[in-house]
Structure 1
Amino acid sequence: MAAEGASANLKALGHQLVENKVSVHLVYDNLNQYHRLWRPSLDSCTSLESGTAATLIIQHDVAEGAFDGIEYERRRASVRREQITYEKIWGDIQFDHLAAIGATNILQILLEYLPGLERHRGAVQHLYSHRFAKHPVKIQKTEYYPMETSSYDEVQNIGNREVLKDLLVRQLGVKPEELDGQMISISGDCSMAAKLRSLKRHTSCGLSWFTSQRFALVLTELWHMRWAFIKGIFRLHWAPSTMKGDSGLHIAAEKLRCKLNSSDPEFYPAERLVETVLATMTLHYARAVLRQKESSLFISNLNRPPHLIEELNLHLSPGRFLWTCTFDELHDELNAVVSLSPDDSDDSSDADHNGEDGVSSLPAGQSQHRSKDHENLDCFDDSAPLDSPNTNTGGDVLLFNNILLYWDMLLYWEFRSSIKDSDIGRTFEVIKWLCVWFFGAGATNYGQELLHQALDLWFHFTEKMKDAVFNNYVISPSGRGEGYERDLLQEHNNFWLKWVFNGRLAKFDSSFLREAVALNIVPLKELGQTILQKFGLSNIYSGRSKANIQTDINYLGHSYLTQQHHIYQPGRVQLFLAMDGIEQGTAKLEEGALQKFLDKHFYQK
Structure 2
Amino acid sequence: GYDSIPDFFYSYLEQIPRHSSHDFDESHRTSLAFFLRGRNKVKPVEIVQRMFDHRYSFPSDTCNNKDDERSKAYSPVLDPREIRYARCSLSSWATQVVGNRAYHDMWKLTHAELDPKDGGPQISARLFASANSRTRAKQGGKLVSKEDLLSFKISDRISFFQIHAPLVWYLVECMAAPRKNNTIIERKRRHPAIVQVAAISSFCMARNQYSNGYWAMQNGIWHIACQSHVDVKRIDSHKGASVHDTTARTALATIAENSLRKLQDDMQKGTKHLSMRYRWVLDNVQQYVKVWEGGIGRDNLLITGCVGTAILMDDVTPGAFDLHDHMNRVLKNESAKLTTQNLWESINWDHISGIQSLHVLLALLIYIPSLNSMEIKVNELFRGKYAIHRMRRGRKTTLIPLGTNSEREIETEGMKRALHDFFEQSGVQPECASDLIVWVGGDGGSVLAMNRAKRYLAQHYELGDSESDYKILHNLLPTIGIWHTQSTNQNMIAENHFGPAVTNDPSALSRSASCANFKRPSNFKDCSKFYSLHRCMSTCWNAQILDCWRHELGFVTHEDMFAHFEQQGKNNNLPDFDDLMAKAVRITSRWVSLESVAQALSSNTSSLPDDITFPLGDPYQFHATDNGGVNENPKFDLFKESKDFEGDHVLANSILFKWEYSLWLELAYAVPEGDIGRVWEIMKIWTFIFAGGGNSNYRDLLLQMYCLFRYQSSTDLRDAIWNNWLVNVTGELGKWIADDLLQEHYNRWLEDLLQKSNGNFDNAFLRSVLSPNVEFFLRLKEEFESALGLHIRSKSHTSPHLRAEYQQLLTMYREEKLHVFRKGRSMGHAATNLINKGFIQLKSGALESFLKKQNDHIETL
Could you state the TM-score of these two structures normalised by the residue count of structure 2? Answer: 0.61
1 CA distance for matches of 2:277 and 2:549? 48
AA of the residue aligned to 2:412: N
2 CA distance for matches of 1:501 and 1:389? 52
Shift of 1:435: 0.7
Shift of 1:286: 0.4
2 CA distance for matches of 1:461 and 1:28? 23
Q: Does 1:337 align with 2:587?
A: yes
Q: Which moved more, 1:102-111 or 1:1-10?
A: 1-10
AA of the residue aligned to 2:663: L
Alignment partner, residue 55 of structure 1: 309
Q: Does 1:146 align with 2:401?
A: yes
Q: Which moved more, 1:118-127 or 1:415-424?
A: 118-127
1 CA distance for matches of 2:498 and 2:758? 42
1 CA distance for matches of 2:493 and 2:819? 21
AA of the residue aligned to 1:38: W
Q: Is the 8 A contact 1:110 1:283 kept in 2?
A: yes
Shift of 1:443: 2.1
Matches of residues 14-29 of structure 1 in structure 2 within 5 Å? 14-20=267-273, 23-29=277-283
1 CA distance for matches of 2:500 and 2:303? 35
**Aligned length in residues:** 566
Which of 129, 135, 138 is matched with 2:389 structurally?
A: 135
Q: Does 1:219 align with 2:479?
A: yes
Alignment partner, residue 326 of structure 1: 576
1:336-367 superposed Cα distances (whole Å, 9 cap, x missing partner): 332377666626540675799x89669xxxxx
Q: 1:43 to 1:317 in 2, by over 3 A?
A: closer
Alignment partner, residue 471 of structure 1: 723
2 CA distance for matches of 1:351 and 1:418? 37
Alignment partner, residue 250 of structure 1: 510
1:579-599 superposed Cα distances (whole Å, 9 cap, x missing partner): 111012122212221122122
1:110-160 superposed Cα distances (whole Å, 9 cap, x missing partner): 221223334544432332122111101124221101100001111112211
2 CA distance for matches of 1:359 and 1:399? 17
Alignment partner, residue 159 of structure 1: 414
Shift of 1:601: 2.5
Alignment partner, residue 381 of structure 1: none
2 CA distance for matches of 1:319 and 1:360? 31
2 CA distance for matches of 1:309 and 1:19? 66
Which of 493, 497, 504 is matched with 2:757 structurally?
A: 504
Alignment partner, residue 366 of structure 1: none
AA of the residue aligned to 2:533: A
Which protein, 1 or 2, shows the higher relative CO under an 8 Å CA cutoff with sep ≥ 6?
1
2 CA distance for matches of 1:541 and 1:134? 32
2 CA distance for matches of 1:387 and 1:524? 51
**Secondary structure in 1 matching 2:280:** strand
Q: 1:460 to 1:306 in 2, by over 3 A?
A: closer
Pick the structure with greater CA Rg: 2
Q: Does 1:578 align with 2:831?
A: yes
1 CA distance for matches of 2:776 and 2:432? 32
Alignment partner, residue 698 of structure 2: 446
**Secondary structure in 2 matching 1:52:** strand
Q: Does 1:287 align with 2:550?
A: yes
2 CA distance for matches of 1:458 and 1:467? 12
**Secondary structure in 1 matching 2:312:** strand
Q: Is the 8 A contact 2:691 2:838 kept in 1?
A: yes
AA of the residue aligned to 1:236: N
AA of the residue aligned to 1:390: E
Shift of 1:52: 0.5
Q: Which moved more, 1:236-245 or 1:446-455?
A: 236-245
1:231-280 superposed Cα distances (whole Å, 9 cap, x missing partner): 01111111123333533311111112122324335100000011101110
Q: 1:34 to 1:342 in 2, by over 3 A?
A: closer
Matches of residues 46-85 of structure 1 in structure 2 within 5 Å? 46-80=300-334, 82-85=336-339
**Secondary structure in 1 matching 2:523:** coil
Greater helix percent: which structure? 2
**Secondary structure in 2 matching 1:480:** coil
Q: 1:355 to 1:317 in 2, by over 3 A?
A: farther
Matches of residues 87-236 of structure 1 in structure 2 within 5 Å? 87-118=341-372, 120-139=374-393, 140-169=395-424, 171-205=425-459, 206-207=461-462, 208-236=468-496
Alignment partner, residue 7 of structure 2: none
1 CA distance for matches of 2:785 and 2:354? 47
Shift of 1:602: 2.7
Q: Is the 8 A contact 1:66 1:468 kept in 2?
A: yes
Which of 613, 633, 640 is matched with 1:389 structurally?
A: 640
1 CA distance for matches of 2:814 and 2:292? 57
2 CA distance for matches of 1:353 and 1:25? 54
**Secondary structure in 1 matching 2:658:** helix
Alignment partner, residue 485 of structure 1: 738
Shift of 1:189: 0.4
2 CA distance for matches of 1:426 and 1:111? 22
1:205-249 superposed Cα distances (whole Å, 9 cap, x missing partner): 423321332221111111111111110111111112333353331
Q: 1:118 to 1:240 in 2, by over 3 A?
A: closer
Q: Percent identity?
A: 24
AA of the residue aligned to 2:580: L
**Secondary structure in 2 matching 1:460:** coil
Q: Is the 8 A contact 2:493 2:660 kept in 1?
A: yes
Alignment partner, residue 261 of structure 1: 521
**Secondary structure in 2 matching 1:51:** strand
Q: 1:385 to 1:458 in 2, by over 3 A?
A: farther
Q: Is the 8 A contact 1:308 1:557 kept in 2?
A: no
Q: Is the 8 A contact 2:397 2:729 kept in 1?
A: yes
Q: Is the 8 A contact 1:95 1:341 kept in 2?
A: no
1 CA distance for matches of 2:296 and 2:511? 47
1:32-61 superposed Cα distances (whole Å, 9 cap, x missing partner): 012222255785421111101111111110
2 CA distance for matches of 1:397 and 1:177? 62
Q: Does 1:407 align with 2:659?
A: yes
1 CA distance for matches of 2:561 and 2:447? 44
Q: Is the 8 A contact 1:238 1:262 kept in 2?
A: no
Could you state the TM-score of these two structures normalised by the residue count of structure 1? Answer: 0.86
Q: Which moved more, 1:426-435 or 1:13-22?
A: 13-22
**Secondary structure in 2 matching 1:263:** coil
1 CA distance for matches of 2:423 and 2:354? 44
AA of the residue aligned to 1:575: G
2 CA distance for matches of 1:70 and 1:426? 30
Q: Is the 8 A contact 1:16 1:22 kept in 2?
A: no
AA of the residue aligned to 1:453: M
Which of 672, 676, 679 is matched with 1:420 structurally?
A: 672
Q: Is the 8 A contact 1:235 1:441 kept in 2?
A: no
1:378-399 superposed Cα distances (whole Å, 9 cap, x missing partner): xxxxxx9876131632111110
**Secondary structure in 2 matching 1:260:** coil
2 CA distance for matches of 1:343 and 1:573? 19
1:473-495 superposed Cα distances (whole Å, 9 cap, x missing partner): 11111111422111111111111
1:489-530 superposed Cα distances (whole Å, 9 cap, x missing partner): 111111111233323232211211111211122344456779
1 CA distance for matches of 2:650 and 2:486? 27
**Secondary structure in 2 matching 1:25:** strand
Shift of 1:23: 1.3
Q: Which moved more, 1:91-100 or 1:255-264?
A: 255-264
Q: Is the 8 A contact 2:260 2:400 kept in 1?
A: no
Provide the alpha-carbon RMSD of the alignment.
3.1
Structure 1 unaligned regions, length at least 5: 300-304, 363-383
Q: 1:174 to 1:40 in 2, by over 3 A?
A: same
